[in-house]
């Protein structure tokens, strides 16, 4: 019998919760297999922007998100199956704890049939790791488990106690490897998560060092292939942006971009022109602008000093051309942004208002957005929000997002002329006609 072309060795890297080292381990495995001459495809569960940057640098290939709520089951299955047809190994990093969220990492691992590695931070723990692993395994018996990777092992004796606890679990859970404590392998973090990969000067050295450690473990050998089946057909995209050029801000201040969103814009016929506000680039000749989220609050002095980009954006908005801004992109449109240190930076002044970065999280979670723009009535965009700033914006309220899991008010969408802005990060595939309308395409 001929083997399916959509099969490939695969592992799903999860943990009991955040902070156990999922990203570090996933990136180290990707680097290990890549150095061995393997073509590695890595995916990140959930709506994360920062982890994929690290994983992309580790694997040498673009990293896309797998999110069952934002993208749906067929979209997730299609991405992984197509990757399996060309890759030697697939790694999927989970989000938060294995069973956290609705849908959870466990839901995705079960859908895809990928065996799970549970990364457990073993600091301050010995045989109890067996009870923790037993709970993870038995909570949903239909999941496939490859075993436990113990992170933060203090000594060979510590590893022996961990192994003893795992052997006493019912069923017994294998200890795939134990990594000794070494803080040089932890990845630096800030208020929105990991520090972006381009900002970690010695990231390659860190990944290579941990890959060296992994090379002597059982994980150096590829696991058995997973058959992902025939990929579901792709969703047809309407050619509503045909012939239009979309200018997209992309640099260290504006880097929260789903690769799938760029693919949707191109799939609707748009040409993309990238520019950097940090470099004070002139705005490319374009029909519409997309300002994605990112970290503008970390670059206030540079953004304030730049005049060319800001002038181009102001002229674009004053000419009545479409401009769509998400989260950090919205902050850049305001008069002023005040960082955590109290320093203020003058931004574009396209939307009257001010944003101040707060010490605590101000917004988090999935939301559905229904704008009912011309040509997109009844369409619902699936979005995610995650921000520490609080903004006061002097513009019309166009709509509010609807939270997925509670009844509190969702994020406001602001509108002034053809400028639309919100804290929401949209997943364009869920509402392509709305996206085309926001960017002044045929749907408008």
CATH number of the 245-438 domain:
3.40.50.880
Shortest CA distance to 277 belongs to which of 241, 325, 342?
325
Shortest CA distance to 197 belongs to which of 40, 375, 23?
23
Domain boundaries for CATH 3.40.50.300 within the chain: 7-227
327 as an active site residue: the answer is yes
d(CA 35, CA 92): 18
Topology of domain 7-227 in CATH is Rossmann fold (3.40.50)
d(CA 276, CA 303): 10
Which pLDDT does position 191 carry in this prediction? 59
- State the helix-helix crossing angle for 203-214 and 50-59, rounded to 10 degrees: 70
Q: Sheet with 409-416: list strands edge to edge.
A: 271-275, 245-249, 288-291, 322-326, 419-422, 409-416, 396-403, 363-369, 381-387, 425-427
Which pLDDT does position 403 carry in this prediction? 94
Q: Which burial class, exposed, middle or buried, applies to 323 when counting CB atoms under 10 A from its CB (0-12, 13-18, 19+)?
A: buried
Q: Is 363 helix (H, G, I), strand (E, B) or coil?
A: strand
Catalytic annotation, pick one of 8, 76, 286, 327: 327
Domain boundaries for CATH 3.40.50.880 within the chain: 245-438
Strands (E), 238-321: 245-249, 271-275, 288-291
Q: Which residues contact 257 (CB under 8 A, 6 or more apart)?
A: 49, 248, 250, 292
Question: Cα–Cα distances in Å, from 243 out to 248, 271, 285, 319, 322?
Answer: 16, 7, 13, 19, 15
Which pLDDT does position 183 carry in this prediction? 45
Q: Are 334 and 348 in contact (CB under 8 A)?
A: yes
Which pLDDT does position 184 carry in this prediction? 45
d(CA 432, CA 122): 45
How far is residue 220 CA from its own chain's centroid?
Answer: 27
Question: Cα–Cα distances in Å, from 205 out to 14, 52, 57, 179, 187?
Answer: 24, 18, 12, 17, 12
Which pLDDT does position 253 carry in this prediction? 96
What does each of the 444 residues of the chain score in pLDDT, given as a tens digit?
567 899 999 999 999 999 999 999 999 999 999 999 999 999 999 999 989 999 999 999 999 999 999 999 999 999 999 999 999 999 999 999 999 999 999 999 999 999 999 999 999 999 999 999 999 999 999 999 999 999 999 999 999 999 999 999 999 999 998 888 764 456 666 555 666 657 777 788 888 988 998 898 889 999 999 999 999 999 899 999 999 999 999 999 999 999 999 999 999 999 999 999 999 999 999 999 999 999 999 999 999 999 999 999 999 999 999 999 999 999 999 999 999 999 999 999 999 999 999 999 899 999 999 999 999 999 999 999 999 999 999 999 999 999 988 777 899 999 999 999 999 999 999 999 999 999 998 755
């Amino acid at each position: 019998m001929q083997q399916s072309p959509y099969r490939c060795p695969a592992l799903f890297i999860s943990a009991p919760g955040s902070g156990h080292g999922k990203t570090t381990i996933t990136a180290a495995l990707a680097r290990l297999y890549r150095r061995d001459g393997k073509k590695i495809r890595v995916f990140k569960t959930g709506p994360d922007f920062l982890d994929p940057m690290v994983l992309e640098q580790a694997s040498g290939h673009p990293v896309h998100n797998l999110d069952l709520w934002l993208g749906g089951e067929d979209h997730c299955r299609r991405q992984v199956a197509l990757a399996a047809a060309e890759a030697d190994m697939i790694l999927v990093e989970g989000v938060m704890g294995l069973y956290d969220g609705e849908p959870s990492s466990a839901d995705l691992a079960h859908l895809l049939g990928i065996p799970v590695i549970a990364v457990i931070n073993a600091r301050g723990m010995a045989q109890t790791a067996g009870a923790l692993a037993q709970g993870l395994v038995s909570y949903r018996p239909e999941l496939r488990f490859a075993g436990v990777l113990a992170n933060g092992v203090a000594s060979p004796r510590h590893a022996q106690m961990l192994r003893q606890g795992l052997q006493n679990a019912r069923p017994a859970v294998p200890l795939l490897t134990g990594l000794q404590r070494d803080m040089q392998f932890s990845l630096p973090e800030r208020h929105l998560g990991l520090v972006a990969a381009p900002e970690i000067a010695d990231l390659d050295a860190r990944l290579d060092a941990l890959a060296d450690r992994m090379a002597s473990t059982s994980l150096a050998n590829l696991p058995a292939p997973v058959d992902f089946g025939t990929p579901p057909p792709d969703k047809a995209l309407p050619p509503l942006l045909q012939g239009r050029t979309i200018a997209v801000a992309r640099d260290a201040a504006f880097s929260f971009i789903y690769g799938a969103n760029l693919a949707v814009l191109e799939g609707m016929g748009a040409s993309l022109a990238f520019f950097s506000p940090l470099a004070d680039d002139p705005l490319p000749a374009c029909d519409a602008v997309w300002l994605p989220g990112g970290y503008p609050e970390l670059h206030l002095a540079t953004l304030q000093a730049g005049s060319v980009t800001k002038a181009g954006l102001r002229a674009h908005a004053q000419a009545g051309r479409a401009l769509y801004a998400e989260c950090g992109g919205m902050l850049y449109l305001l008069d002023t942004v005040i960082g955590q240190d109290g320093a203020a930076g003058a931004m574009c002044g396209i939307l009257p208002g001010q944003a101040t970065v707060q010490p605590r999280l101000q917004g988090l979670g999935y939301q559905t957005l229904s704008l009912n723009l011309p040509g997109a009535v009844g369409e619902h965009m699936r979005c995610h929000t995650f921000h520490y700033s609080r903004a006061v914006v002097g513009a019309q309220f166009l709509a509010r997002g609807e939270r997925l899991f509670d009844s509190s008010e969702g994020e406001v969408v602001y509108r002034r002329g053809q400028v639309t802005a919100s804290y929401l990060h949209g997943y364009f595939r869920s509402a392509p006609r709305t996206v085309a309308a926001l960017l002044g395409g045929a749907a408008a």
